[in-house]
A and B are shown apart, each in its own frame.
Chain A
Amino acid sequence: MKLAILGAGDVGRSVADLAGEYDHEVVALADSTTATVNPNGIAVDDALERKVGDEALGPGVPEDVFEMEYDVLVEATPTTLGDAEPGFSHVKRALEADRHVVLANKGPVAERYEELRALEADSAGSIRFEATVGGAIPVLSTVEDCTPQAVTAVRGVLNGTANFILTRMAAEGLDYEHVLAEAQDLGVAEADPTFDVDGTDAALKFVILANVLADGGFSLEDATVEGIQDIPGSALDLAAEDGRTIRLIGEATRDGVRVGPRLVPENGALAVTGTRNIVQIETRNAGSLHSSGRGAGGPETATAVLSDVGRLPPL
């Protein structure tokens, strides 16, 4: 397939870098101001080198991407809330041109799911968005394989930063502020970690899951969300007295979305440590399935994008 990639952050760059391994060709790569396009395939290594050196990706502008002959638009621009722009408009343009879209951007799928599905229904192209939930972990494709109707709930840990902080607090008996600073030093937490620690990032993923289970109906404002900022080290110590620990757990069902700190058995499946993610998919006829792995990172998330590309039908 010919890929046009919008967004040149960790994920967009990794998709460009790994596309060749999956036998796909990159015909366009754009960041927010510049672009490089070539109908016969761009020189990915050169473009990435320029990007890392803070130079323009190429002589073009992002608009040029839509002029290209491509099969799949990879939407990997940063997640925005509310109207989810400009991501939503990118997807719209591609679907209206009867192209496929693979999203790594959570915004449009969490905030404007029904509109996306309506656009898809009128298009020869399809949308896929495995990379928006749990990075490399095949969560949505597992739900799809079980058929969404037979899945009764999805629960789990889908934010590595919050999980890292809680794990360190429990293991070292340290307080939140101390561990957050350490996580920032290690590059696990961003300079502004708000979305990770207040539960928003996890909530977006569980909103997407609820939309898949119920075929739409949810956005971030329908979710009940609590973060981990107010959890002191002493709460983790008390939980441990009884063989339990605290994790930032999300739950998606057809009835709603809830994210908050919860008590889970210390040695249970959901008590993953460090930046690891896990989901538990509860099915009507086959009990619970668990998938665990790396929920973030450029190459990890890019594998989810490229797996989606592989599942698309020819246009």
Chain B
Amino acid sequence: MGNPPADGDEDDPDAETDGGLRAYTVRLELVDEPGELLRALAPIADNGGNLLSIHHERGNITPRGHIPVQVDLECPPDRFDDVVEGLRGAGVNVIQAGAEHYGEEINVVLVGHLVETDLSNTLSRIEDEADAVVLDLSLAAPEGTGGISSARARLAIDSGRSSEALAAIRSIGTDKELTVVEPLLGGDA
């Protein structure tokens, strides 16, 4: 793996029967320094991906002070994991990777003893049990890490699965004695 460019996929029978190339979207988070974008795109081409579009959201800085970049690309389905691994291997922060897989974004706010109850475990459980990807996280702990703190997480979830994902997050909240402030779904709230 690693060398054939996108149009070299024609000799891959599986990809052909599968409809050949498929479109994917990856969201990356880049440090605002010259050359970062180029460095981030190289692993895509190197792993057989074909760039379709790049949406470089300058001016829309994430709470951590980074720049979100959305890249649409196409590649055979069996190459996509290599593309993502290539990006991660190059030290690029991939915050979302998938095709139509993660179609919706929701925000939740968690309140409670977040640090003492192991925030990173809480987030892994959300990813596993709610089948979500944490795109972004902000933490506010005005009382220090031992007190009540709040965290806002932006999550990518499968289209049409918001209710199930929120039910799973609710139950994690109950487990860990955290208050979960959910978005209001439905209607045009």
1/0 contact string of A23-37 vs chain B (CB within 8 Å): 000000000000000
Complex Cα gap A3–B154 (Å): 55
Stretch at the interface among B35-43, B49-57, B105-113: B105-113
The yes or no answer to B138 lying at the interface (CB within 8 A) is yes
Complex Cα gap A239–B141 (Å): 14
Contact A155–B179 (Cβ < 8 Å) = no
Contact A288–B188 (Cβ < 8 Å) = yes
Most chain A CB within 10 A, of B63, B111, B182, is at B111
The yes or no answer to A147 lying at the interface (CB within 8 A) is no
Complex Cα gap A287–B186 (Å): 11
Tell me the minimal C-beta distance from B61 to chain A in angstroms.
Answer: 11
User: Would A263 and B63 be within 8 Å (CB), given that A231-B179, A237-B140 are in contact?
Assistant: no
Cβ–Cβ < 8 Å partners of B141 in chain A:
234
User: Would A264 and B142 be within 8 Å (CB), given that A238-B152, A242-B107 are in contact?
Assistant: no
Contact B179–A226 (Cβ < 8 Å) = yes
The yes or no answer to B150 lying at the interface (CB within 8 A) is yes
Give chain B interface residues in 116-173, CB to chain A under 8 Å. 138, 140-142, 148-152, 154
Tell me the minimal C-beta distance from A223 to chain B in angstroms.
Answer: 16
Contact B187–A263 (Cβ < 8 Å) = no
Most chain B CB within 10 A, of A230, A235, A265, is at A235
Residue from B148, B150, B184 within 8 A of A270 (CB atoms) = B184
Complex Cα gap A147–B188 (Å): 21
Cβ–Cβ < 8 Å partners of A261 in chain B:
179, 181
The yes or no answer to A207 lying at the interface (CB within 8 A) is no
The yes or no answer to A246 lying at the interface (CB within 8 A) is yes
1/0 contact string of A263-284 vs chain B (CB within 8 Å): 1110011100000000010100
Contact B184–A249 (Cβ < 8 Å) = yes
Cβ–Cβ < 8 Å partners of B150 in chain A:
232, 234-235, 237-238
Cβ–Cβ < 8 Å partners of A270 in chain B:
184, 189
Tell me the minimal C-beta distance from A47 to chain B in angstroms.
Answer: 45
The yes or no answer to B183 lying at the interface (CB within 8 A) is yes
Tell me the minimal C-beta distance from B8 to chain A in angstroms.
Answer: 42
User: Would A242 and B188 be within 8 Å (CB), given that A226-B179, A231-B111 are in contact?
Assistant: no
Contact B181–A264 (Cβ < 8 Å) = no
Contact B184–A155 (Cβ < 8 Å) = yes
Cβ–Cβ < 8 Å partners of A265 in chain B:
189
User: Would A238 and B187 be within 8 Å (CB), given that A261-B181, A263-B107 are in contact?
Assistant: no
Tell me the minimal C-beta distance from B136 to chain A in angstroms.
Answer: 9
Residue from B140, B182, B186 within 8 A of A155 (CB atoms) = B186
User: Would A155 and B152 be within 8 Å (CB), given that A231-B181, A262-B183 are in contact?
Assistant: no
Contact A263–B184 (Cβ < 8 Å) = yes
1/0 contact string of B77-107 vs chain A (CB within 8 Å): 0000000000000000000000000000001
Residue from A230, A234, A287 within 8 A of B142 (CB atoms) = A234
Contact A232–B189 (Cβ < 8 Å) = no
Complex Cα gap A242–B154 (Å): 9
Complex Cα gap A242–B153 (Å): 10
Contact B186–A263 (Cβ < 8 Å) = no
Complex Cα gap A205–B141 (Å): 35
Cβ–Cβ < 8 Å partners of B108 in chain A:
263
The yes or no answer to A6 lying at the interface (CB within 8 A) is no
Chain A's closest residue to B140 (CB) is A234
Complex Cα gap A246–B183 (Å): 9
Complex Cα gap A256–B88 (Å): 45
Contact A288–B187 (Cβ < 8 Å) = yes
Residue ranges of A at the interface with B (Cβ–Cβ < 8 Å): 153, 155, 226, 230-235, 237-239, 241-242, 244, 246, 249, 251, 260-265, 268-270, 280, 282, 287-288
Top 4 A-B residue pairs of the complex, sorted by shortest distance between their CB atoms: A234-B140, A238-B152, A235-B150, A234-B150
29 contacts between A and B (CB under 8 A): A153-B187, A155-B187, A231-B111, A231-B179, A232-B142, A232-B148, A232-B149, A233-B142, A234-B141, A234-B149, A235-B109, A238-B140, A238-B150, A239-B152, A241-B152, A242-B154, A244-B183, A249-B189, A251-B184, A260-B182, A261-B179, A262-B183, A263-B108, A268-B189, A269-B189, A270-B184, A280-B188, A280-B189, A288-B187
